[in-house]
Chain A
Amino acid sequence: MHLSETVNTGFLFLAPWLVFFPVIGLLINIIFGHRFSERVIGMVASLASGAAFVVSVLLAWSVSASHGEVMRWRLAEWIHIGGLELDWTFRVDSLSTTMMLVVSGVGTLIHIYAIGYMHEDVRFKNDVGRFRRFFVFLNLFIAAMMILVSGDSYLMLFVGWEGVGLCSFLLIGFWYEMDTLARSSWANSNAAKKAFIANRVGDFGFLIAGFIMFWAFGSFQFDDVFAKVHEVPEGVIVAITLFMLVGVAGKSAQIPLYVWLPDAMAGPTPVSALIHAATMVTAGVYLVTRSAPLYSSVHEAQNIVAMVGALTALFAATIAVGQYDIKKVLAYSTISQLGFMVAAVGMGAYVAGMFHLITHAFFKALLFLSAGSVILGLERGHHHAEHAHHTGKQKFKKGKHGQNKSEVHEEHHEDEHHEVFDPGDMRNMGGLRKTMPVTFWLYMIGTLALAGIFPFAGFWSKDEILLDASLHNQAVYWLLTVAAFFTAFYMGRQIWMVFFGGHRHEAAAHAEESPKVITIPLMVLAGLSVLGGALNLPFEGYHNLGHWLEYTLHEVESLPLNLGVAGISTGLALIAILISWFIYGRNPIQKGQKDPLTALGFVFAGMEKKWLVDELYQAIIITPFAKLSEFLANKVDWEIWHDFVHERIIAGTYNWLSNVGLNENVDQKWIDGLANKLGTATQWLSANLRKVQNGFVRSYALSVLLGVVLIVGYLILK
């Protein structure tokens, strides 16, 4: 628990500030934000996140300086009950600092991007006041994620786990009163609820795992648990790891709980990038990696985890092929890539999993944010086109373009006369290569990294996973290889549809490039997506990440580059891009034309309809559940419990007892009778007694006399 004096703890004392900085940032924005301009709000939030990044760097340096010593910083006493002694302790080791760096680094870039993005988003949706709220939520997310990755026990990890779930819910439902096209509806709220409920199912698994763990190990602290792994029966470990897998499937969007992630795209794009691609959804991968001693001791559980990951990777990749929404494609791609990571950590290739987690955070954040830039560009183009359309009639509004009031008016105007324009639909895009060149090149880099083309970051990390799979589990290897093929294909399809060909919509023709506050963070991410592979090159002496994580994970295999595996995956990726060029690039689809892949019939229809998984869940879970709850509410609760038991039996008996029994018989007959009798008796008595008071002194005197005579007579005759 306590460190020996000799160990250089470096900047360890800064560990709590990982959480404090974002919390301070959000408090400043909550308390003083109403006086700040948007720029200041964004700066405060970005600086809070940036400060957390600086702390992460210093902590990583400290870990490095102490040669991977696991360092703990005890902040406060937390739960001390019976044999359970749990403190609020930050754990700083090579694994947690890796996650801290990714979360705060990518998080800070996305904070900066969000200043530009939300500036326009709140104006398109016409609620400028919500700008501040967004950054408060974003900082809260960073704080919760930091608790998650820096906790020294499963319980503290769970606090962060729930915290990021809450932030996810709040941010998916950020525009809670509208749908993604800003029409009045509860679609976004429903997406938020879906995410929350799917995550609750996962959390339930996590909680059960925690209960079993406490029962078996008597502790939640990581090292206490891992030290006793071999003293506990294997069946118990299998149960813990599999229940934990339910939690992982919820948070990291794996089969069967992934359904919430595509809907989570209802949130603003920076949220999709930060929470639903780069950081929060990787919490499950982190959990498995952190629990490596548990998973490594039971191969059955490992195989299940790997299969779940591999199946998810392929399944989601096929769905991504059939999507038209630019963010939905990326969402399914994220599920698919998370499948890669889960498969990797499931096979015990923790370094490969973490490596892919890091590179994926870079290039998927890049892709999402570029997609956000595309969407904003289209919105601008749409407004521009609308504006040009209306200038003849509404010249006086020209000067006010960009001001809310005129925009409100225009927005309404549009709704009345035109069908709603969807800036996220790839069928409305096309040819953006010319109108948004910077975004195009950034998107291109992200695509190549995701498709796993040499020498981009995704190539190295994905190949490391495939190489591990080829050695450990052939089934997983082939599933992942096919998934990698589909990955390259749907990304190729997206590139051709979005950036090449002709403009399929007026908005695409008038699309405008995004400002620097948006493109500069993207350039940083693009640089990371290009160079990220250098973290862990498969050459002797360059397994930097592997050596770094070895401090924490102890058993790390560093494999050399296998040209066969790398060749197959790269070759397949290139073939996939070539096929996508044949289908989408050579003859760009025209306005109103159906996707050429519809020729595949039910296969494409299945991809487009997401293999009807949502409908399946609707049919086998939600509808029966709704029926059951309706039955329970109407029949059991209302008719049986309320109408019969409460109303008829309890209230009826009570009424009868009080009315007939107590009221009529006891109260009215006896108690009222007694009181009435007492009244009439008193009346009668007083009516008679008043005659004695006749007012004649002499009669009183006579009474006195008689009284005296009686008393004296009694005394004498006694």
Chain B
Amino acid sequence: MVPVDYYIILSAILFTIGVLGVLIRRNALIIFMSIELMLNAANLAIVAFSSVIQSFSGQIFVFFVIAVAAAEVAVGLALIVEIFKSKHSIDVDQMSSLKG
């Protein structure tokens, strides 16, 4: 059996990639994908721990996360489409109307 440490390390690597993607990239779609990456990193960690403590609750939790992520994608993509329609770009740096 694969030790749980490996899952955690993988999860951490995936999460870090996601964070870096969100922070560095300017394309909204890429940022979105990075968020998904972070969510899935978290899911992986939860499922790993769930198997360690021999409980289903973690897995049920993950289902919810996946469902919420799907909904989020639907909303997020719709937003991106609308933003593209008005600005003809999905560069997040262009969306700075809240600048103080």
Contacts and interface: CB of A to CB of B under 8 A. Distances in A.
Interface in B78-100: 92-93, 95-100
A70 B29 CA distance: 120
B22 interface: yes
B17 to A, nearest CB: 13
B44 to A, nearest CB: 18
A696 interface: yes
A692 B100 CA distance: 8
Contacts of B100: 689-695
A697 B99 contact: no
A702 B24 CA distance: 10
Interface in A694-710: 694-698, 701-702, 705
Contacts of B93: 696-698
Interface of A: 689-698, 701-702, 705
B96 A696 contact: yes
Interface centre among A691, A694, A698 (most CB of B within 10 A): A698
Contacts of A694: 96, 99-100
B1 interface: no
Given A690-B100, A691-B100, A692-B100, A697 B19 contact: no
Contacts of B95: 695, 697
Nearest to B35: A701
Contacts of A702: 23
Contact of B22 (A692, A693, A698): A698
A698 B24 contact: yes
B55 to A, nearest CB: 22
A691 B99 CA distance: 9
Interface in B16-31: 19, 22-24, 26, 31
Interface of B: 19, 22-24, 26, 31, 92-93, 95-100
A701 B93 CA distance: 13
Nearest to A689: B100
Contacts of A695: 95-100
A694 B100 CA distance: 6
Contacts of B23: 698, 701-702, 705
Contact of B92 (A690, A691, A697, A705): A697
Contacts of B98: 693, 695
Contacts of A705: 19, 23
- Please provide the 7 A-B residue pairs with the shortest distance between their CB atoms, ordered closest to farther: A695-B96, A693-B100, A695-B99, A690-B100, A697-B92, A701-B22, A698-B23
A691 B100 CA distance: 7
A705 B35 CA distance: 13
B92 A698 contact: yes
Centre residue among A692, A695, A705 by max chain B CB count within 10 A: A695
B33 to A, nearest CB: 14
A693 B31 CA distance: 20
Contacts of A701: 22-23
Contacts of B24: 698
9 contacts: A692-B100, A693-B98, A695-B97, A695-B98, A695-B99, A696-B93, A697-B92, A698-B22, A698-B92
Contacts of A698: 22-24, 26, 92-93
Q: Which of A689, A691, A697, A702 has the most CB of B within 10 A?
A: A697
Contacts of A693: 98-100
B92 A696 contact: yes
A692 B98 CA distance: 11
Nearest to A709: B19
A694 B92 CA distance: 12
Given A691-B100, A693-B100, 19 more contacts: A689-B100, A692-B100, A693-B99, A694-B96, A695-B95, A695-B96, A695-B98, A695-B99, A695-B100, A696-B92, A696-B93, A696-B96, A697-B31, A697-B93, A698-B23, A698-B26, A698-B93, A701-B22, A702-B23
Nearest to B28: A697
A695 B99 CA distance: 4
Nearest to B25: A698
A505 to B, nearest CB: 108
Contacts of B31: 697
A696 B97 CA distance: 9
Nearest to A705: B19
A699 B93 CA distance: 10
Contacts of B96: 694-696
A277 to B, nearest CB: 101
A701 B95 CA distance: 14
Contacts of A696: 92-93, 96
Contacts of A692: 100
Contacts of A689: 100
Contacts of B99: 693-695
B95 to A, nearest CB: 7
B46 to A, nearest CB: 16
A697 B80 CA distance: 14
A689 B98 CA distance: 14
Contacts of B19: 705
A686 to B, nearest CB: 9
A696 B92 CA distance: 7
